Amino acid sequence: MAKRERLMATIKEVAALAGVTPTTVTNVLRNRGRVGDATRERVLEVVAAQGYRPNLNARALVERRAPTLALMLGCITNPFYPEFTLQANNAARRHGRFLLVCNTDYEPDGGTRFLADVAGSLSDGILVANNGDLRIDELKAIQATGTPVVISIWELPDDPPGVPCVAFDSHKAGFIAANHLLELGHRRIGALVGSAKNGIHGGRYQGFRDALRTQKVKHVLADARFCSDSFQSGFDAALDLLSARPDLTALFVSNDLPALGALNAAASLGLDVPNDLSIVSVTNIELASQSRPSLTTVAIPTAEIAEQSVELLLKLIANTPDVAPVIRTADPVLVKRDSTAPIRKS
């Protein structure tokens, strides 16, 4: 029986065929060091022809670091998290790293097990996407073992968690959303909050309330519902609130997914959005532009959060001095679509 042909070359064979040293091949593949254009092109041609693939396990042993960054998510089925993961993965790949993703599915011990498994072994550092149920003490304990940790999507930049984080101004997002409704003439405005009052969306809700207060518009808890961050919860909460308060002309919803549920609830009640009811939300997931009517929302800088989170984690891994404990992103921005309109005069 003929001996099976070996499919991939080694780095030494690539170097020999290209007439360079193995170090030069490494520099070309990692886009570092000073390598002339002609030499780079010659090396890449040999790499492609020979089907060379770097041995990541060997690299990790030599460099004493894992080639991966870990990302811990609460629920991968929430449309925001795949979009964030894509951006984080793109950022990691630009820095020559792979992204290892764990979905805890909101299990109380899921994050604990993940952190224990990957810290210092499968990954060089850990990104934690804030889902409102973080165990800060556990993250600090992981840090104490020497594994860097960064919290992404922190919502309270003026109230840092004690772990390095990338934060956006959630209060401003809620303020912008409410101010948009006020500018359209709405004064009877309800609120759907995708968390407990003091939960992860508490900053967004407080921003909404503060905007109303500046215009001397009264808001009472009877005009608010607190639900989970899901389509079905948004549907149920909106159905309950709109049935109890049929005089409302607008809704502020703290996140896009429950806002999409609210759109369906309004349709079930025979309400025309935006002529009978305006709806504004926060985040700007892709589905917000695809619903009918399309959803007016306040966009948070998702791509920037992902990029800055990866960069902050890499700085911590490299022991870069004087790294800021809180990285603030650009401000949220209103994206006007079809779910809001000026209040209809009777």
Amino acid at 225: R
- Among 5-19, 35-49, 83-97, 139-153, the range scoring the smallest mean pLDDT is 5-19
Please write the tens of the pLDDT for every residue from 212-270.
Answer: 999 999 999 999 999 999 999 999 999 999 999 999 999 999 999 999 999 999 999 99
SS3 for 107? coil
- Among 133-142, 154-163, 319-328, the range scoring the smallest mean pLDDT is 133-142
Other C-beta atoms closer than 10 Å to the C-beta of 145 total 10
Model confidence at 182: pLDDT above 70: yes
At 49 the pLDDT is 81
Task: Name the region of 292 (left: φ>0; alpha: ψ -120 to 50; beta: rest).
Answer: beta
Model confidence at 210: pLDDT above 80: yes
**Look-up: residue for tokens 């886009």?**
31
At 224 the pLDDT is 98
Confidence of residue 153 (pLDDT cuts 50, 70, 90): very high
Give me the mean pLDDT over the 27-51 stretch. Answer: 80
Q: Are 219 and 212 in contact (CB under 8 A)?
A: yes
Query: Which residues touch 259 (CB under 8 Å, ≥6 apart)?
Result: 192, 234, 251, 253, 279, 280, 281, 288, 295, 297
Element (H, E) at 283: strand 278-283
Other C-beta atoms closer than 10 Å to the C-beta of 331 total 13
Task: Name the region of 42 (left: φ>0; alpha: ψ -120 to 50; beta: rest).
Answer: alpha
Give me the mean pLDDT over the 148-175 stretch. Answer: 96
Mean pLDDT of the chain: 89
Domains annotated on the chain, with CATH: 1-50 (1.10.260), 63-169+301-331 (3.40.50.2300), 170-300 (3.40.50.2300)
